[in-house]
Amino acid sequence: MGSRASTKSPWAERHEGGRGMERDRMRASQLLAWNLRRHRVYRGISQERLAAGAAMARGYVARMERGLENPTLGALDRLSEALSVPVAEFFIAPVEGEPPPQPLRGGRPRKLAEQVTTAPPLVPGERT
């Protein structure tokens, strides 16, 4: 039996059985994570503020920045609008050797309970 040349496209050979597709999705989510954080930090915007501007939960933005989410095109549109960048900016490969974007200084805000000082104890018979 002779050897036959493959009739599959190069794309189909790379993605046969869905194995390659997962790797491609991972690369896209890593690019999104890198660039989303890069643009947010460059502008000095917290995850919470970006999430509010894009009408989404802060946790969702945080998961995108860690490459754990696959957002919809609508979500990417809202993020690009909130950051004033084209959607294509989220998928630009970093320059080789470029260090990853660092989080904003200060990190997450303290919980409200830690920020509120406790009121002095009520004196017996005192009305509030």
Is 122 inside a domain boundary? no
Q: What is the CATH number of the domain that holds 78?
A: 1.10.260.40
Structural domain of residue 69, as residue ranges? 21-94
Confidence of residue 15 (pLDDT cuts 50, 70, 90): very low
Identify whether 105 is part of a domain: no
Q: Is residue 2 part of a domain?
A: no
Rounded CA gap, 45 and 101, in Å? 13
Quick: pLDDT tens for 29-75: 999 999 999 999 999 999 999 999 999 999 999 999 999 999 999 99
In a domain, 79, yes or no: yes
Model confidence, pTM: 0.63
Average pLDDT, the chain: 76
Secondary structure (H, E, C), 91-109 = HCCCCCCCCCCCCCCCCCC
In a domain, 61, yes or no: yes
**Count of structural domains, the chain:** 1
- 17: pLDDT confidence band, cut at 50, 70 and 90? very low
Within-domain flag for 62: yes
Does residue 49 belong to any structural domain of this protein?
yes
CA distances from 33 to 60, 71, 84, 101, 102 (A): 12, 11, 17, 10, 12
**113 in any annotated domain:** no
Which tops the pLDDT comparison, 67 or 9? 67
pLDDT tens digit sequence for 81-91: 999 999 999 99
